[in-house]
Amino acid sequence: MRYELSTDWMLITEQFQSMFAELGDVTVSEDLLSYASVQPAVATALALTSSGELLANMPLHAINSRFEHVEFHQTPLSLTLSGANLSYTYTVPSAIVSLRSSV
């Protein structure tokens, strides 16, 4: 389902927490959602503000942009952010997804 960042922040927060449950450190505040993997898993992190700013970090990869919508996907475990003429998909690395079944 596609959510609007300006109006659906609480629903986005719930989906974000569910998506990253048991996969690393998740931080939730009134205006910021963040996820970071935990060693020894591959280093990856994602932070999203309620105003649509994104900070993503994977090896050799970083992006700073502003988005308006977020859509969560189960297969592969990912989320897509979109805005005016801009789209970004963050996919949880399979090595990290496998941690969920081993917990």
Residue 29: what residue type?
A: S
- The CA dihedral of 9, 12, 18, 22, to the nearest 10 degrees, is -70
* Local structure of 21: helix, strand or coil: coil
Considering only CA atoms, which of 87, 91, 45 is closest in space to residue 66?
87
How many other β-carbons are positioned within 10 Å of the β-carbon of residue 1? 8
Tokens of 33: 């959602």
Q: Give the DSSP H/E element, type plus range, for residue 20.
A: helix 9-20
pLDDT digits (tens, 9 = 90+) for 26-56: 999 999 999 999 998 898 999 999 999 887 6
- For the cut 60, the answer to whether the pLDDT of residue 57 exceeds it is no
pLDDT value at position 7? 96
| Domain segments of the chain as ranges | 2-102
